[in-house]
Amino acid sequence: MSWADKLRNAIALGTSPLIRGLLDYEGAMGDIRALDRVSFAAWFRRHGGSEGSLAKLWNPIAYALGFIDTENISARCMLTIFQMFATKTEASKLNLLKGSPDTYLHGPIVKYLTDRGTKIHTRCPVREVRFEGDRVTGLTVYQDGQETTITADAYVAACDVPGVQRLLPAAWRQHPEFDNIYQLSAVPVATVQLRFDGWVTEFNPAHQKQTAATGLDNLLYTADAEFSCFTDLALSSPADYYREGEGSLLQAVLTPGDPFIAMPQEQIVERVLAQVHELFPSARSLQLRWSNVVKLAQSLYREAPGMDVYRPNQRTPIANFFLAGSYTQQDYIDSMEGATLSGRRCAQAIAQVYRPALN
């Protein structure tokens, strides 16, 4: 970015609600929520921000956060994140897990729950929500090749957007709270993994073939490739991804994902490899040993301008049926943090109904 871009960036941020947020968090959040109908790009230009900053800085950030660019992401969504980064210092660290999420993220949560008697059933989709009047009477689930019915005091649907749209009974669309959910959509994304025989982000060729992992050890962003953010997992998340005798395991997130959903895997790998070589010319001598592409036609909730009003509350018009999931009402972007916040709000909603004395 040029100095002029940086100066105009400072002016835009200096006149944003973030400054108020340093002293009055909730007041600033009110200002930020009111900006949902505006795209971040429109808001930024209005505050003096430059095209250079949008292209070089803010688009890669928007792509990394919501898989869409600054013209398509709401100002509310972006400013909420910066407000949290500015005021909650523990939230402003970029980092990766020591190893696979299954072990280092889900593992401890699953242990905590199962130690307390929780039973978790996977590969067990809910096929139908049964109801009478304004109460759910049971869930039809598919398990081990057969359908069974589960009954409970309270039911929580913690789905993604396409999942909840399929799950809700059609008759419930008479309630605007449920009907609004069908206004929401999800964005496509593709991720690529590339394993090399040396260290891609190590600039010193003399160290590129060494055994110990070396290079840039964090999540990386770029405005100059079709992948907005990437990392060398062998370096940044070594417990499961470093393999002696092998080198970098680059993981790159392709955004916007739309063009890649129909593209053959070999073509995607070829394009990404060419762009890796452009970013890291010293890696051209390394051999690609293995590659993989994962495509998700519907992933995150699309944080487009004006969509916030359609996000449902965790408490619904059905007395014993609750919603959770990142797409439900909560301030943070669709993320693990957003999903957690939605879960807390859902737990509060359930407590309000079943344990009003606790509130």
Ligand X SMILES: Cc1cc2nc3c(=O)[nH]c(=O)nc-3n(C[C@H](O)[C@H](O)[C@H](O)COP(=O)(O)OP(=O)(O)OC[C@H]3O[C@@H](n4cnc5c(N)ncnc54)[C@H](O)[C@@H]3O)c2cc1C
Residues 140-159 as x/- pattern, contact with ligand X by CB under 6 A: ------------------xx
Residue from 163, 169, 238, 256 that binds ligand X (CB under 6 A)? Answer: 163
Applying CB under 6 A, does 180 fall inside the site for ligand X? no
Residue from 336, 344, 348, 351 that binds ligand X (CB under 6 A)? Answer: 336
Applying CB under 6 A, does 297 fall inside the site for ligand X? no
Cβ-based nearer residue to ligand X, 159 or 213:
159
Cβ-based nearer residue to ligand X, 202 or 334:
334
Burial of 215 (0-12, 13-18, 19+ CB in 10 A): buried
In whole angstroms, give the CA distance from residue 334 to residue 307.
13
Cβ-based nearer residue to ligand X, 331 or 337:
337
In the DSSP assignment, the letter for residue 105 is I
| Span of 2-10, 53-61, 293-301, 309-317 interacting with ligand X by CB under 6 A | 293-301
The helix/strand/coil state of 310 is: helix
Burial of 281 (0-12, 13-18, 19+ CB in 10 A): exposed
CB atoms within 10 A of CB 17: 21
SS (H, E, C) 41-95: HHHHHHCCCCHHHHHHHHHHHHHHHHCCCCCCCEHHHHHHHHHHHHHCHHHCCCC
Residues in 251-270 at the binding interface with ligand X, rule: CB under 6 A: 253
Applying CB under 6 A, does 299 fall inside the site for ligand X? yes
| Span of 86-94, 145-153, 200-208, 332-340 interacting with ligand X by CB under 6 A | 332-340
Cβ-based nearer residue to ligand X, 126 or 154:
126
**b/e for 138-171, b at 16 or more Cβ within 10 A?**
bbebeeeeeeeeeeeeebbbbbbbebbbeebeee
* DSSP symbols for 267-283: HHHHHHHHHHHHH-GGG
Residue from 29, 68, 189, 346 that binds ligand X (CB under 6 A)? Answer: 189
Peptide bond into 176 cis (omega under 30): no
Residues in 226-255 at the binding interface with ligand X, rule: CB under 6 A: 253
In the DSSP assignment, the letter for residue 352 is H
Residues 111-140 as x/- pattern, contact with ligand X by CB under 6 A: --------------xx--------------
Cβ-based nearer residue to ligand X, 44 or 322:
322
Task: Give residue 100's identity as a one-letter amino acid code.
Answer: S
Cβ-based nearer residue to ligand X, 262 or 357:
262
Cβ-based nearer residue to ligand X, 27 or 101:
101
Applying CB under 6 A, does 101 fall inside the site for ligand X? no
Residue from 160, 226, 232, 303 that binds ligand X (CB under 6 A)? Answer: 160
Could you list the residues that contact ligand X (CB under 6 A)?
Answer: 125-126, 158-160, 163, 167, 189, 191, 253, 296, 299-300, 325-326, 334-339
